Amino acid sequence: MTEGFTIPISSDIPIVQLGRGWLYGMPIPALIVILIVILSFILMQFTTFGRYVTGIGSNQESVRRSGINVNLYILLTYMMTGFCAALGGIIIAGRLGSGSSNAGVMFELEVIAAVVLGGTNLFGGKGTIVGTVLGALTIAVIGNGLILAHVSPFYTQIITGFIILVAIWINTKYFQRRTREQ
């Protein structure tokens, strides 16, 4: 529809305030992230939904044989993921003051790096919200440090990819060792 062009968003539209606004001395995007992290932590740690999702990630067939409607929980998980992605897109559009078809290109590399660095097992069933947040903060600090060190953005992606490879290697070795010990 836009033929690849960036569409400017007027600064008087409330969406812009989600990306640029401040509330009680804190940026609104940071408050939204804190709220989402707290809600996710509670959902995953203290509800049956969280136990089912972790179980499905660990061994989907055993959860299905326990009488749990696996497809329903997968659908709900995808719905929540889609909601968070849409919210992130709205925040980015508000922050940039424009809508662009390539605004989030290559963010998936940083997301994978953050999740793996946070201790999530790539093979499912292990991971925490707190670990993911710490992994995301680590990736952000590394990225910011590389920018401050005047490293080219092209090399930043290479370095992030290298960090992902090392983290995956450590992840695989750690979880293989833990599996053998059990």
How do residues 111-164 score in pLDDT, each as one tens digit? Answer: 888 888 888 877 766 788 999 999 899 888 888 888 899 988 888 888 877 877
Q: How far apart are the C-alpha atoms of 182 and 176, rounded to whole Å?
A: 10
Compute φ and ψ for 62, nearest 5 degrees.
-70, -35
Q: Name the average pLDDT for the chain.
A: 87
- Could you tell me the pTM of the whole model? 0.81
Q: Residue 6 region, left (φ>0) first, then alpha (ψ -120 to 50), else beta?
A: beta
pLDDT at 176 over 80: no
* Range with the largest mean pLDDT of 21-35, 101-115, 121-135: 21-35
Higher-pLDDT residue of 181 and 102 is 102
